[in-house]
């Protein structure tokens, strides 16, 4: 799922992109990232860019959320609820590589990275 919106879009006095990421986290989705654009335009056809100070206030933002389709579709109403303006797209994704490193705190050695199976 990708949510396209403006950086200055707000939901209850918080950035919409922050609200979406926090809701995705609470929903237990696999991952979410926010990407800030350097230039773009949307429904208003006004170009927002970092090159012009007066137009740099509402830069394009994309929130990308990755998980299984059924979980994304279940989360969709939460994203729609906070989005007053913008665009949401759903695209199939082929995961080629997914590596996760967790950490174990060891009293003698400090933090030790371990893989998903719990081995060094």
CA dihedral 54, 36, 79, 83 (to 10 degrees): 10
pLDDT at 119: 45
Q: How far is CA 112 from the centre of its chain?
A: 28
CATH number of the domain at 43, please: 3.30.70.120
Query: Is 66 a domain residue?
Result: yes
pTM of the complete model beyond 0.75: yes
User: Residue 75 above 90 pLDDT?
Assistant: yes
Q: Which DSSP helix (H) or strand (E) runs through 35? A: strand 31-36
pLDDT at 37: 87
User: Residue 108 above 80 pLDDT?
Assistant: no
User: Residue 85 above 70 pLDDT?
Assistant: yes
Contact call for residues 68 and 1 (beta carbons, < 8 A): no
Question: First vs last Cα of the chain: how many Å apart?
Answer: 34
Query: Is 73 a domain residue?
Result: yes
Query: Is 116 a domain residue?
Result: no
Query: Helix 16-26 and helix 69-82: axis angle, to 10°?
Result: 140
Query: Is 113 a domain residue?
Result: no
Task: Name the residue range of residue 42's domain.
Answer: 2-93
Domain count across the chain: 1
Query: Is 120 a domain residue?
Result: no
Confidence of residue 29 (pLDDT cuts 50, 70, 90): very high
Query: Is 98 a domain residue?
Result: no
User: Residue 95 above 80 pLDDT?
Assistant: yes
Confidence of residue 13 (pLDDT cuts 50, 70, 90): very high
């Amino acid at each position: 799922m990708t949510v396209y919106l403006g950086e200055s879009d707000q939901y209850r006095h918080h950035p919409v992109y922050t609200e979406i990421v926090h809701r995705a986290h609470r929903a237990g989705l696999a991952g979410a990232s926010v990407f800030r654009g350097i230039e773009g335009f949307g429904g208003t056809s006004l170009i927002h860019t970092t090159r012009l100070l007066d137009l740099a206030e509402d830069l394009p933002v994309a929130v990308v959320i990755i998980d299984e389709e059924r979980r994304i579709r279940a989360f969709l109403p939460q994203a729609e609820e906070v989005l007053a303006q913008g665009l949401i797209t759903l695209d199939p994704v082929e995961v080629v590589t997914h590596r996760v490193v967790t950490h174990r705190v060891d009293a003698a050695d400090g933090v030790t990275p371990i893989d998903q199976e719990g081995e060094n």
